[in-house]
Structure 1
Amino acid sequence: MKRLIDILASGLGLLILFPLLLGVALLVLVYHGRPVFFGQVRPGLEGKPFKMLKFRTMRDAVDSNGNPLPDSERITKFGAFLRATSLDELPELWNVLKGEMSLVGPRPLLMEYLDLYTPDQARRHEVRPGVTGWAQVNGR
């Protein structure tokens, strides 16, 4: 039943929010250039990797050696606005529609944390990761 709700809600959300998604994508293109989306591999159900989509919030700025500058120097005011309003997360509705995520569930952390989980913490991978979860509802 939960998966059916995820499919219906994410599909409807993508349709209704399409003008907003298009507008944000165009602004990301103007402020950050291509690509518009940022994809990062995260552990999903049963720890299987998937590519989580977000709108880009940072510039591709590097130092003289070609190393990326710190995040604080790469994020733009527009990117900070996207993060503060969680608009950067809207493309995750596509991940929900594809079955890689759920609307509600534990937020997917980075792949490098997989080996650090205790058995109890690893239980988070018994369900699909969520667009929103306990931490987001309780003030991040």
Structure 2
Amino acid sequence: MTARKLPFDFIKRGVDIAVSAAGLIITAPIQIAVAAAVRVNLGSPVLFRQQRPGKNEWIFELMKFRTMLPVTAQYTTDEERLTKFGKFLRSTSLDELPSLWNVFRGDMSLVGPRPLLVEYLEHYSPEQARRHEVRPGITGLAQVRGRNDVDWDRRFEYDVEYVDNRSIGLDLKILVDTVTTVLKRSGISQEGHATMPKFSEYQKGENSNAGS
């Protein structure tokens, strides 16, 4: 971390605490309503909890509202498990509201590279792994430049671009652009996928193409 980034990172953490605390209070009625709707439409548990790597690859438990049915003999793939109700939660980003608790605790920030799966850690190049130099975010540069409708290589380029150029101005721009992205409900998924292909699957495809 460069010295010039230290004051910004200190201010950013203070903003994260204040905004997430206010957000948890303000959205409490909405979260209660969403939790009840998840319970009725998808059953229990209401929250989706999963281990994700954060800053310096420190592992934390991400919390979101569930958007999928449980795996059964009838529903095995993400596409089959993701209901219309789940798609609505994702398109409106209502499923992300519990992640404000992750921000308040310091696991995440309001803005930063999205926290991905732990299994991806072994697949990153040294440059791609730089996304873990900062706290992951609820929203980020990749989310406002295409969300899930961009390939992995470009997504990681956006993540590293944020790490190198993070500032109060850039964070504010990303937050404003996030509102626009959510209202448009754009980039929710890639064609043929509930969200986008796994990074490990994408890599296999790239290696296959390279050898053809």
- TM-score in same-fold range (> 0.5): yes
Q: Deviations 1:59-92 (Å, cap 9, x if unpaired)? A: 114117xxx6111111111111001111111111
Is the counterpart of residue 107 in structure 1 residue 114 in structure 2? yes
Is the counterpart of residue 7 in structure 1 residue 17 in structure 2? yes
Rounded Cα–Cα distance in structure 1 between residues aligned with 2:122 and 2:77: 26
Aligned to 2:141: 134
Rounded Cα–Cα distance in structure 2 between residues aligned with 1:87 and 1:111: 24
Rounded Cα–Cα distance in structure 1 between residues aligned with 2:144 and 2:17: 21
Quick one: which of 71, 84, 100 aligns to 2:78? Answer: 71
Is the counterpart of residue 35 in structure 1 residue 35 in structure 2? no
TM-score (norm 2): 0.63
Quote how far apart the aligned CAs of 1:6 are: 0.1
Quote how far apart the aligned CAs of 1:139 are: 2.6
Gaps of 5+ in 1: none
User: RMSD of aligned C-alpha atoms?
Assistant: 1.1
Paired residues, number:
137
Rounded Cα–Cα distance in structure 2 between residues aligned with 1:54 and 1:30: 17
Q: Deviations 1:69-123 (Å, cap 9, x if unpaired)? A: 1111111111110011111111110000010000000111111110111111111
Identity %: 59
Is the counterpart of residue 116 in structure 1 residue 126 in structure 2? no
Rounded Cα–Cα distance in structure 2 between residues aligned with 1:52 and 1:130: 11
Gaps of 5+ in 2: 1-10, 148-212
Quote how far apart the aligned CAs of 1:47 are: 0.2
Residue 106 of structure 2 aligns to which amino acid in structure 1?
G
Rounded Cα–Cα distance in structure 1 between residues aligned with 2:83 and 2:125: 36
Rounded Cα–Cα distance in structure 2 between residues aligned with 1:83 and 1:20: 15
Residue 61 of structure 2 aligns to which amino acid in structure 1?
K
Is the counterpart of residue 44 in structure 1 residue 44 in structure 2? no
Aligned to 2:178: none
Larger helix percent: 2
Q: Deviations 1:16-58 (Å, cap 9, x if unpaired)? A: 1111111000100110111000011110010011111110011
User: Bigger radius of gyration, 1 or 2?
Assistant: 2
Residue 130 of structure 1 aligns to which amino acid in structure 2?
G
Question: Which of structure 1's runs of 4+ aligned residues deviate more than 4 A?
Answer: none
TM-score (norm 1): 0.94
Aligned residue runs from structure 1 range 77-88, under 5 A: 77-88=84-95
